[in-house]
Amino acid sequence: VSSVSLLAPLQSCQCLAWKPCAVGVWGAESQHVVAGYSDGTIRVFSVSRTEMELKMQPHSAALTAIAYSTDGEMVLSGDKDGLVAVSSPRTGMTLHILADHKGSPITVLQCTRKQYHDFGVEGSELWLATSLDRRVSVWASNWLRDRCELLDWLSFPAPADPEGLDLPPSLAAFCPWEHGALVYVGFGMQKEALFYSLRKKQVVRKVSLPAFATSLSLSPATPFMAIGFGDRLLRLQPCPAGDPQDYTGHDDAVHLCRFAPSGRRLLTASHSAVLVWELTGG
């Protein structure tokens, strides 16, 4: 294993994302990374040249989430004040500032090439934004035509926030193996993962959890969820039903889960440990 240093002095990197490869380029590996920083800046790095190519500042607050559009032509960024910016990594211009989640930090941004036409709106992709206050917005966008339309707005109930409790994050992800659905976990009335149908506009399935989740990832290849918890537990949950598989090995809360694009490997992280899991089952 080797590493290279991509530095932004005096600032803290809060989030990053790899640029997606062009459609149809089999086996290609992206050579660009976008990173969000504590000073509200976004920096685009070339991995092959180990240098920064572009710096933008669409935010005045620290970045908390960042993602590329599915074609890599736009960068979506969210900050701790709840603002979402859409910027061009080609020109450095910020094209949209969305304040729908204002007042609560953005926890997740995700884009997908789902069947946008199934929902009666124009666009080349769907994307979602999730904020710490248990709200999820789903959008249909066509960046070439400068279109961005709100498709759905979700708000999940929860009991009154207990004083002094460090609440778990609100997390959502499009479901790769269930078209028109997304999965949500967060502080709520029950400890569970919720499957929400964008067509039916309602929760269609619930999966009980042993605790509130601290991380979430959905396999792009098989119907499995990886869910991390604060008590060092990692759970692999088959969907729509089946017996979960629980694993230990972390030294602290499992705050990151990420399936590889193949679905055959899973990366998880806690305070001082990063583990790579080989998934050998069907």
Task: For the chain, give the mean pLDDT.
Answer: 87
**Mean local confidence (pLDDT), 18-38:** 72
**238-249 burial by CB neighbour count: b if 16+ within 10 A, else e?**
bbeeeeeeebee
Q: Do the Cβ atoms of 194 and 202 come closer than 8 Å?
A: no
Is the pLDDT at 271 greater than 90, yes or no? Answer: no
Tell me which of 164 and 239 has the higher pLDDT.
Answer: 239
Is the pLDDT at 150 greater than 70, yes or no? Answer: yes
Looking at residue 143, what DSSP letter applies? G
Is the pLDDT at 232 greater than 70, yes or no? Answer: yes
pLDDT at 2: 42
**Mean local confidence (pLDDT), 198-214:** 94
Q: Do the Cβ atoms of 225 and 245 come closer than 8 Å?
A: no
pTM, 2 dp: 0.88
For the beta carbon of residue 205, count every other beta carbon within 10 angstroms: 16
3-state helix, strand, coil in the chain (%, to 5): 0, 45, 50
pLDDT at 20: 85
Structural class in CATH, domain 156-281? mainly beta
Is the pLDDT at 3 greater than 50, yes or no? Answer: no
Q: How confident is the model at residue 213 (pLDDT cuts 50, 70, 90)?
A: very high
Q: Do the Cβ atoms of 152 and 189 come closer than 8 Å?
A: no
How far separated are the first and last CA of the chain, in Å rounded? Answer: 29
Angstrom distance (rounded) from CA 192 to CA 92:
40
Q: How confident is the model at residue 164 (pLDDT cuts 50, 70, 90)?
A: low
pLDDT at 240: 84
Look at phi and psi of residue 196 and say left if phi exceeds 0, alpha if psi is from -120 to 50, else beta: beta
Measured in whole angstroms, how far is the alpha carbon of residue 55 from the centre of its chain?
22
Give 80-99 pLDDT, tens digit per residue. 999 999 999 999 999 999 99
Q: How confident is the model at residue 114 (pLDDT cuts 50, 70, 90)?
A: low
Angstrom distance (rounded) from CA 157 to CA 134:
8
pLDDT at 28: 47
Of 124, 134, 126, 139, the C-alpha closest to 155 is: 134
